[in-house]
């Protein structure tokens, strides 16, 4: 077993015991088995899905319509960056890394045996094990195991750790953009200027469509949207987005709408904003079920409605964009906490009306 430094015997970690029952715990530093990597976690972003899991959403805890996704006790956190401190030659060679490399970790741990993994769609893996939810402890800890099935990507040590961990939401946002099949003459609307929305705006800008429009309810986040590449911003709290966009498009509506808010009202908003035969891309985890008028999708407009999940094949592009320095990361990564302040971090993510954008823990 290769190693770089002497490790402590114990570490601090957040452990899930149930909804609204997350506890700071001292536990042994995990020992990597053959083929495993052990990383010292530098940063883990706090996702809106972490918050919804904390509050007991059926998406994670199950109900009569859903299987349970979370299995306590588990350490949460799936937006992970860390430094490799242990790993045998097999593990290092498999991942193409070396001891002391900094890596961003993909959030899914594919089985590589199911129908989806075998046809190349590893991000839709049947068992769908994710760091921080079921069988694999996540990044809200000082150290964590990266099993052989997982995927890692080297990232520059010149980036602050919270910026490097943003590779996860940014790769997700870029996948949503890829799903949209954007062309040069498109008018593209992105709903939400949170972490995913800002990443989508940056990704859409890379595609160079005719116009990029950002929607949000906070002027501060809309200013950040401009810094990420939006041509036009609309505050839907006091402006009529539907009318503005129709005026800009000779009455037709937007070509593409990317939903990145996780709020049910943004779904119907998008369906109404789109032109006939427009494209709707959904990238959100909803706390509650969403209902829309499906006749608009079919009979009225013949829309293309596409889902997007995780960030497959987009990690290298996301890391390249972060390393380029083109994004206003100091303004995006607004708040950092130690592990002992994990509750404050979750509460801050819940404050949707506040000035925070991306909240991170720095173990």
Q: Is residue 103 part of a domain?
A: yes
One domain, residues 281 and 342 = no
pLDDT for 147 beyond 90: yes
β-partners of residue 71 are: none
User: Can you tell me the mean pLDDT for 264-282?
Assistant: 97
Between 5 and 228, name the one with better pLDDT.
228
242-280: b (≥16 Cβ within 10 Å) or e: eebbbebbeeebbbbbbbbbbbbebbebbbbbbbeebbb
* Mean of the per-residue pLDDT values of the chain: 95
Q: Is residue 240 part of a domain?
A: yes
Last residue of a domain, one of 307, 322, 343: 307
Token pair listed for 160: 């602050």
Question: Residue 1 has what pLDDT?
Answer: 44
One domain, residues 183 and 302 = yes
Q: Is residue 321 part of a domain?
A: no
One domain, residues 17 and 107 = yes
Domain interval for residue 76? 10-160+333-361
Q: Is residue 195 part of a domain?
A: yes
One domain, residues 136 and 261 = no
Q: Is residue 316 part of a domain?
A: no
Q: Is residue 203 part of a domain?
A: yes
Q: Taking a C-beta distance cutoff of 8 angstroms, is the pair 212, 201 a contact?
A: yes
For residue 78, the domain's CATH number is 3.90.180.10
Question: Residue 67 has what pLDDT?
Answer: 78
Predicted TM-score (pTM) of the model is 0.95
- 50-87 confidence digits (pLDDT tens): 998 999 887 788 877 777 888 899 999 999 999 999 99
Give the C-alpha distances (Å, rounded to integers) separating 259 from 110, 271, 277, 278, 308.
26, 10, 17, 14, 10
Residue 32 DSSP code: P
One domain, residues 303 and 202 = yes
Question: Residue 4 has what pLDDT?
Answer: 56
User: Can you tell me the mean pLDDT for 144-166?
Assistant: 98
pLDDT for 136 beyond 90: yes
Closest alpha carbon to 70 in 163, 133, 18: 133
For residue 204, the domain's CATH number is 3.40.50.720
Report angle CA 191, 197, 203 to the nearest 5 degrees: 115
One domain, residues 150 and 183 = no
One domain, residues 14 and 146 = yes
One domain, residues 135 and 18 = yes
One domain, residues 121 and 200 = no
Token pair listed for 62: 């199950």
Question: Residue 59 has what pLDDT?
Answer: 79
Q: Is residue 328 part of a domain?
A: no
Give the C-alpha distances (Å, rounded to integers) separating 151 from 74, 80, 94, 108, 111.
20, 12, 10, 8, 12
One domain, residues 156 and 62 = yes
Separation of first and last alpha carbons in the chain: 24
One domain, residues 95 and 202 = no
* Structural domain count of the chain: 2
Q: Is residue 298 part of a domain?
A: yes
Helical H runs in the chain? 48-54, 58-61, 89-95, 115-118, 161-165, 167-179, 195-207, 219-227, 241-248, 264-273, 294-295, 315-324, 329-332, 342-350
3-state SS assignment for residue 10: strand
One domain, residues 155 and 21 = yes
pLDDT for 292 beyond 70: yes
Question: Residue 356 has what pLDDT?
Answer: 85
């Amino acid at each position: 077993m290769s190693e770089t430094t002497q490790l402590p015997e114990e570490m601090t970690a957040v452990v899930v015991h149930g909804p609204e029952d997350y506890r700071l715990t001292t536990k042994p530093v995990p020992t990597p088995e053959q083929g495993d990597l052990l990383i010292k976690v530098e940063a883990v972003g706090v996702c809106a899905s972490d918050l919804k899991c904390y509050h007991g959403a059926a998406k994670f805890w199950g109900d009569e319509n859903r299987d349970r996704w979370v299995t306590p006790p588990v350490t949460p956190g799936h937006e992970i960056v860390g430094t490799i401190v242990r790993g045998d030659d097999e593990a290092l060679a498999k991942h193409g890394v070396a001891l002391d490399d900094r890596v961003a970790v993909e959030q899914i741990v594919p089985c590589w045996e199911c129908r989806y993994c075998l046809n190349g769609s590893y991000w839709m893996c049947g068992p769908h094990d994710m760091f921080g939810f079921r069988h694999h402890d996540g990044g809200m800890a000082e150290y964590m195991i990266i099993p052989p099935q997982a995927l890692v990507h080297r990232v520059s040590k010149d980036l602050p750790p919270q910026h490097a961990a943003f590779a996860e939401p940014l790769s997700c946002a870029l996948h949503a953009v890829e799903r949209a099949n954007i062309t040069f003459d498109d008018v593209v609307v992105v709903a939400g200027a949170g972490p995913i929305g800002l990443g989508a705006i940056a990704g859409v800008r890379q595609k160079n469509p005719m116009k990029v429009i950002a929607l949000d309810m906070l002027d501060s986040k809309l200013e950040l949207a401009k810094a990420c590449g939006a041509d036009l911003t609309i505050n839907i709290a006091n402006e009529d987005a539907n009318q503005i966009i129709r005026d800009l498009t000779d009455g037709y509506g937007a070509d593409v709408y990317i939903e990145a808010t996780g709020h049910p009202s943004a779904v119907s908003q998008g369906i109404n904003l789109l032109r006939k035969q427009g494209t709707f891309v959904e990238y959100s985890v909803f706390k509650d079920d969403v209902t829309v008028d499906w006749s608009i999708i079919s009979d009225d407009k013949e829309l293309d409605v596409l889902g997007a999940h995780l960030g497959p094949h987009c990690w290298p592009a996301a890391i390249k964009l972060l390393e380029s320095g083109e994004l206003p990361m100091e303004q995006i990564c607004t708040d950092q906490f130690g592990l002992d302040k994990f509750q404050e971090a979750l509460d801050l993510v819940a404050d949707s009306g506040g000035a925070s954008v991306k909240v991170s823990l720095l173990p």
